[in-house]
Structure 1
Amino acid sequence: MKIAAIGGGVIGGGWIARFILNGHDVQVFDPHPEAARIVGEVLANAGRAYEALFQAPLPRPGRLVWAGSIAEAVRGAEHIQESVPERLELKHRIIAEIEAAAPADAIIGSSTSGFKPSELRQGAVHPDRILVVHPFNPVYLLPVIEVVGGGAAARRACDFLTAIGMKPVTIAREIDAHIGDRLLEAVWREALWLVRDGIATTQEIDDIIRFGFGLRWAQMGLFETYRIAGGEAGMRHFLSQFGPALKWPWTKLMDVPDLDEALIDTIAAQSDAQSGAHTIRELERIRDDNLIGILHALKANDWGAGRTLRAAENRLYARRIEPAPGYPLRLHRARVGGSWLDYNGHMTEFRYLQVFGDATDAFLIHAGLDEAHRATGFSAYTVETHIRHLAEIGAGEDLLVETRLLGHDAKRIRLHHAILRKDGSPAATAEHMLLHVSTDQGRAAPMPDALLQALDRIAAQDDAPHPDHAGGGIRVLRPREAVT
């Protein structure tokens, strides 16, 4: 899909990173003189985060193309994401420029935090395709997205957002600030009073959130958390027990402190003392690492945002990759990230197995043992593996895997992989024996004719002898002579 991004700040840069890392080309317009640097730094952090986040092989990143005007950026685009500052007159002007040059059926999504679709659509030529598509920072990691505007355009936008690993939440009725920011503002107002009245510092408030209810909210939200607080009697008991407290004068939600210079100075000084030891990019990487850990834990339990991550990863695994011309097959590439290294600074052992496993998955999908085949109750399980380590692999290296089908019968597949470095030299080889199984019955099962015929066609391409090491194991060592 061809995508345009208008605005490359904190939110716009996050959108650009998510689009590109999911394999889409993005044409960007932002007149800020530092836009290229800012977007480049965000994209670098996002790429680092994706290497740690996904176990499935990632698609080849899309291209970042800088446009000289809005018209140039949106020409031919199917999805246009506007992320300019929160001034309605500015958004009206930008949307008018977008509409003048964009295809009539292009979706125009605004990242606005507060404006309603009816406000954005004032004076529009094709108002129904203008939507609120409001993300949360960092856009490339947090999956939830508020979609406001309804209709066919919203359905199309949700399909696209789901395909790039997001969790769209459609809001049926428009309201100022949508849902997320209204909740956040309630907490923000109260936090300002706590600082203003000298009750707590910025760090103390943040600590109560991040060491307390923030951890609960990260995986259960508000209502499910309070349901548990009601004990075995559930939500009804919680409401009857704690509902009267809503009438107590605990909060000042409708009374906002003046953000005068004194309060601004206090908050800024406390924030500097709390976080000033780190640069913004360092804080972003710390944040990303923490979010990745939480997301991985949630994925392991198939829960909340982890379920969205699992679905996105399954789509990555399910990609059918066209092989490079010729044989052996070249179906998988990988880049060695910093987290792949051991204490010697070389690619650690389990990452070799991951690369070979991903290459096996790519081969099986290429042959037809894909998600549709697995949905019928059959799959292929690896029952034996032999890996040879031939060379050291360092950080940042680009790896290519060559795959050969050494043999197959009705139930078994024998594969050989070679990891090649950029100069074509082999860094490692692996041999795998896979067994076709019925996942329902938990035992070996014959492959269907279509899969066997696909394997026959692949095998027919191989007229070279098997590698000398194929079928071998670890050499038996003679026992040391007893020391007398």
Structure 2
Amino acid sequence: MARKAAIVGGGVIGGGWAARFLLNGWDVAVFDPDPEAERKIGEVLANARRSLPALYDRALPPEGRLGFHATVEATVAGADWVQESVPERLDIKHRVFAQIMAAAPAEAIIGSSTSGFKPSELNEKGARAVVAHPFNPVYLLPLIELVGDAATCARAAEVLRGIGMFPLHVKKEIDAHIADRFLESVWREALWLVKDGIATTEEIDESIRMGFGLRWAQMGLFETYRIAGGEAGMEHFMAQFGPCLSWPWSRLTDVPEFNDDLVTLIASQSDAQSGHRTIRELERLRDDNLVGILRALRHTRSGAGGVLVAHEATLPPPAPVDLPVTVDRQVPVTWTDYNGHMNEAHYLEIGAQASDRFMEMIGADAAYIASGKSYFTVENHLRYLAEVMAGDRLTVTTQVLGGGGKKLHLFHRIARADGTLAATMETLLLHTDLTTRRSCPPEPGVEAALAHHVRAHAGLPRPEGAGRAIGQPVG
């Protein structure tokens, strides 16, 4: 039976929470008095369905059920997790928490998306909430700041890791927690730079995305500065740049007057910078870029990339069919090209993923490779049979055509969700000793596991397209 998440407040953040839970197999109930809430959350979900599965090389679980309710009480009934995402006014939060407490199960985790309030403030009227502060878009960015009762935060962290998030337990209460204090500092400095006519909104954004923003995405602040200290490390950096703390490099202790003139100045520059795109277009651009960055971080498991790899390992394996399913995944937009479909190189990539998965199935996994043995590909033959678009779900089944001695001969069928055969890839691999870089027989355990598959597939018809040469007539 699917677990249930109740979302109270369905704005940008609440909608992101709904998408994150729903796409990880939870049932989701939403309360929001906005008559447009269902439409808005539907649009957030459309973006999430396009981007979140594209982070993974394995399919997410089947979506849960989404429902909208007219009352808080009906929304939270039977919930395992309740997430409050109402406006940042303490009186509103107290009123909502009273309704939640009256109807939510006693064992339900109650989280607040608040950016600034402390748990002690949220719970002044008898609630038992913890801060579970996310970052937009919630369905892509993994960080959640958890603040509050240690035992509840530990339970919450387990749930959050199960939906692919990174819980950061903030041990001490402080206004705005950790991350938003940094964001607020940068925001205040940016307002001064615009107000004083030193920089435009576009120039400030360029300074972040072309420079330190890229470093922060993988290493954060202190690791970045440790490298800046060179071989002498952090102490050298501190000694070199410490004196600048007394220089007039920042106005962080001072706040510009927030008036209509400042709002008009910022808004007009922002319109000139980005007004040619709709909000939904900007969201999709943001999501596509985040998917590309996060997928790049997967390869080194740096930062959020490590969270993705760990979560993917917990996802359920594909359901068995007549042949082993070696890949079941969604196509990310980063795999498409100028023709608007999946580029030819990524057909090879998904076939290579299938070969890697089959290697794991017969015991030639990471531990085996670390011991000094592996399989090397020596020949591939790809046939492109149908177009594949971003967002398409692809399933690869693998048939063993041969597996004697050093050789491993595989045939991968790459199919779309509707059953259309999109491509086939025939591949020949040789077992290799990584110390000598020469072919050699596999270890007995791998050899026996491979022989099992060879026997299981021996009676299958030879697949259409196997053994074809390039340019050979079809049919």
Q: Does the TM-score normalized on the shorter chain lie above 0.5?
A: yes
Specify the TM-score bucket, using the shorter chain as the normaliser.
0.7 to 0.9
Give the Cα separation in 2 of the matches to 1:208 and 1:376: 42
Structure 2 residue matching 1:448: 3-state secondary structure: helix
- State the partner residue of 2:209: 210
Structure 1 residue 342 displacement after superposition = 4.6
Give the Cα separation in 1 of the matches to 2:193 and 2:471: 71
Give the Cα separation in 1 of the matches to 2:432 and 2:73: 54
Change (3 A) 1:408 1:291: same
Q: Deviations for 1:281-323, whole angstroms, at most 9, x for unmatched residues?
A: 222223233333433444444433333344344555xx42332
Letter in 2 for 1:63: G
Give RMSD over aligned pairs. 3.7
Identity %: 52
Give runs of aligned pairs for residues 71-82 of structure 1, distance below 5 A: 71-82=73-84
Letter in 2 for 1:445: P
Give the Cα separation in 2 of the matches to 1:310 and 1:330: 20
Give runs of aligned pairs for residues 112-261 of structure 1, distance below 5 A: 112-124=114-126, 127=128, 130-261=129-260
- State the partner residue of 2:64: 63
Structure 2 residue matching 1:187: 3-state secondary structure: helix
Give runs of aligned pairs for residues 397-476 of structure 1, distance below 5 A: 398-406=393-401, 408=403, 414-421=409-416, 424=419, 426-433=421-428, 444-448=441-445, 452=448, 456=452, 459-460=455-456, 463-467=459-463, 469-470=465-466, 472-474=467-469
Change (3 A) 1:231 1:373: closer
Q: Deviations for 1:231-290, whole angstroms, at most 9, x for unmatched residues?
A: 444333333343343334544333322212222222222222222122112222232333
Give the Cα separation in 2 of the matches to 1:155 and 1:196: 44
Change (3 A) 1:183 1:467: closer
Structure 1 residue 444 displacement after superposition = 4.7
- State the partner residue of 1:480: none
Give the Cα separation in 1 of the matches to 2:317 and 2:297: 27
Structure 1 residue matching 2:6: 3-state secondary structure: strand
Give the Cα separation in 2 of the matches to 1:232 and 1:376: 30
Give the Cα separation in 1 of the matches to 2:305 and 2:384: 37
Give the Cα separation in 2 of the matches to 1:439 and 1:102: 58
Give the Cα separation in 1 of the matches to 2:227 and 2:449: 54
Structure 1 residue matching 2:426: 3-state secondary structure: strand
Q: Is the 8 A contact 1:149 1:174 kept in 2?
A: yes
Change (3 A) 1:331 1:96: farther
Gaps of 5+ in 1: 478-484
Q: Is the 8 A contact 2:114 2:133 kept in 1?
A: yes
Give the Cα separation in 1 of the matches to 2:126 and 2:374: 54
Structure 1 residue matching 2:102: 3-state secondary structure: helix
Change (3 A) 1:427 1:254: closer
- State the partner residue of 2:102: 100
Q: How many residues align?
A: 466
TM-score by length of 2: 0.82
Deviating more after overlay: 429-438 vs 98-107: 429-438
Q: Deviations for 1:171-225, whole angstroms, at most 9, x for unmatched residues?
A: 1111111011112222222322333333333233333333343333333333333
Structure 1 residue 156 displacement after superposition = 2.3
Q: Deviations for 1:352-372, whole angstroms, at most 9, x for unmatched residues?
A: 23343444556566x574979
Q: Is the 8 A contact 2:132 2:147 kept in 1?
A: yes
Deviating more after overlay: 163-172 vs 422-431: 422-431
- State the partner residue of 2:41: 39
- State the partner residue of 1:265: 264
- State the partner residue of 1:356: 351
Gaps of 5+ in 2: none
Letter in 1 for 2:197: G
